[in-house]
Amino acid sequence: MRYTLLALMALFLFTSCKKENTVWETDWSVPVINDTLSLSNLVNDSTLAETGGFYSVDLNRSLFDISINEFVEIPDTTVQGAFGTTFPFISVTPGLEFVNEEEELVLNIADVQLKEIITGEGFIDIELINPLETMAFFTINLPGITKDGIPFVQTYNVPAGSASNPASSSNTISLNGYQLDLTGINGNERNTLRSVVTVVADPAGPTVTMTNTDTVRMNVTLRGMQIDYARGYFGNQIISDTTEVDLDLLNMVQSGVIDLPNTTVKFEVNNGVKVGARALLNFVKNENSSGTIVSLNHPQLGTDFNIDPALGSWSTLSPSQKLIVFDDANSNIEEFLENLGAKNTLGYRIEMNPWGNVSGGNDEIFPQSRLGVNLHVNMPLTVGTNALVVSDTFEVDLTQDLNSTHVVSGEMLLTSSNAFPFSGDVTLKLVNSNGSVLHTISGSQRIQSAQYGSLQAATNLMVANSDVKFVLNEAALVDINDVKSIIVESEFNSMNPITSLNEQMSIPVGAFLGVKLRTRFTTQNQF
């Protein structure tokens, strides 16, 4: 409507040389909406299914899902090695191996004791520092880091330096797909890499002197480590959170009653980690647009339950599952759903290894390992509505000059074709900037339910056609400049034409609501 008025004003707002205003009226009809609502796009997307010619709810949603790298996180770690001589000085002849050291590099991993990991991503940065006045050949052997059974061994040349200005060399190697043995030199450590470093003087270089103040250094940094596989003890970890799911569309429901069929809702806890756990579902509640809160009741809520470890291995891994089933026999699930809560809140707590290191350090996580909670809802999409009021608000600008071109009478015409088994009484509320309703305009008739229609051959559906008028009276037009928003309010009912009672209605596959909205205004033009 706003754009219609602006167009009219642009066409007719111009001045005249006549002393007296010329006045005439014109009629305008402008299409506004031509659209069709259906549920077909919700089929096969884990929301709706088709059963016996009618829609059913087949809802599958992940409430939370965590992967291997959220269980075991290896922070970037730098380990420094320093090699020198205890003698006042030694002669380093060409080709002399003057460093041969075996060390353990301890990774900074809190609360987790790892024996073995396989990396999906990661890098090793090696910085080598040479204070001698001859080139040095550093061989870095990390026997615990292998790929395809081949240990990590690299040799690097570092130029000649001096005590006051040591030479250095920096190198980066991708560790993607490497296997890391973290049991140290003796095989009984955890989070510990074994390293062997040898340094050889340039065979073609000069003889130089190394004093006890000259130190050959190696800095090794592990960074960006992402894990594909881990074995060890993952510690006593607690994952606790409150998850909120907002269904903003339900905030449009203002009042009334919805009636749903018997429903089964399942919370499925999946554990793809070879670690035992204990879980607690603290609460599940929702709150509707009126502020009414309904908490879900069930014997399992607020009570700890155990989760078995996953079974199998790489290609045979089988997650364990724990199902909590809510139905009409053990809970108030129907009341919970019929509250139409736009704000849904779930509180949970999961404790890994609640009984300590019962696996002897043989917990395992694989690339496909996940820990998560899924929601499953299955029921016929059979819905009953009784004076269910849904509203939405749209901002508008209907400002017009009453001394120039302006609307003197008008109406909006809504034509509908409805294949849903619900009728709707539509009302428009004109609202000012303070939120006060200036005028309420009721439709001339309701949008009829398909139950009162006739069989449409093209779709093989019952379809009811309706024509609804919304008349803008003189009082509304006088206040039109004060209107800043329009509330569209619809009251839905599912009346059975035989019993004249609101009953649950099944929604046929292919159901649609086609609407066409146009305006018809009479304008007075002055200039």
Could you list the pLDDT tens digit for every one of the 527 residues in the chain?
333 333 322 222 222 233 344 444 444 555 655 667 776 765 666 678 888 898 888 888 888 888 877 778 888 888 888 999 889 999 999 999 999 999 888 887 878 899 999 999 999 999 999 999 999 999 999 999 999 999 999 999 999 999 999 999 999 999 999 999 999 999 999 999 999 999 999 999 999 999 999 999 999 999 998 999 999 999 898 888 888 877 765 665 677 777 778 888 898 999 999 999 999 989 999 998 888 999 999 999 999 999 999 999 999 999 999 999 999 999 999 898 888 888 889 898 999 999 999 999 999 999 999 988 888 888 888 888 888 877 777 787 766 666 666 666 778 788 889 898 989 888 888 889 999 999 998 989 998 999 999 999 988 999 999 999 988 888 887 887 888 888 878 888 989 888 888 888 888 998 888 888 777 777 666 65
Q: Assign 291 to helix, strand or coil.
A: coil
Beta strands in 327-422 (DSSP E): 343-352, 363-365, 370-380, 382-395, 406-418
Retrieve residue 262's tokens: 């018997």
Distance CA 112, CA 230 (A): 11
79 and 220 Cβ atoms separated by less than 8 Å? yes
> Beta-carbon neighbour count of residue 216 at 10 Å?
24
Pick the CATH number of 56-69+236-380 from 1.20.950, 2.60.120, 3.40.50, 1.20.1090: 2.60.120
Nearest residue to 364 (alpha-carbon basis) of 314, 306, 404: 314
The set of residues, in sequence order, having a beta carbon less than 8 Å from that of 500 and lying 6+ positions away, is none
> Beta-carbon neighbour count of residue 511 at 10 Å?
24
Note if the pTM is more than 0.85: no
58 and 48 Cβ atoms separated by less than 8 Å? yes
* CATH class (in words) of the domain with range 73-233: mainly beta
Classify strands 264-271 and 320-326 as parallel, antiparallel or unpaired.
Answer: antiparallel
Distance CA 180, CA 152 (A): 10
As a dihedral over the C-alpha atoms of residue 40, residue 43, residue 48, residue 52, rounded to 10 degrees, the angle is: 80
Q: Where are the domains of the chain?
A: 2-38+384-526, 56-69+236-380, 73-233
Is 56-69+236-380's fold the same as 73-233's?
yes
Retrieve residue 152's tokens: 């990590």
The set of residues, in sequence order, having a beta carbon less than 8 Å from that of 364 and lying 6+ positions away, is 229, 230, 231, 273, 274, 313
**Residue 150 CA to its chain's centroid (Å):** 41
CA angle 519, 520, 523 (to 5 degrees): 120
Q: Assign 215 to helix, strand or coil.
A: coil
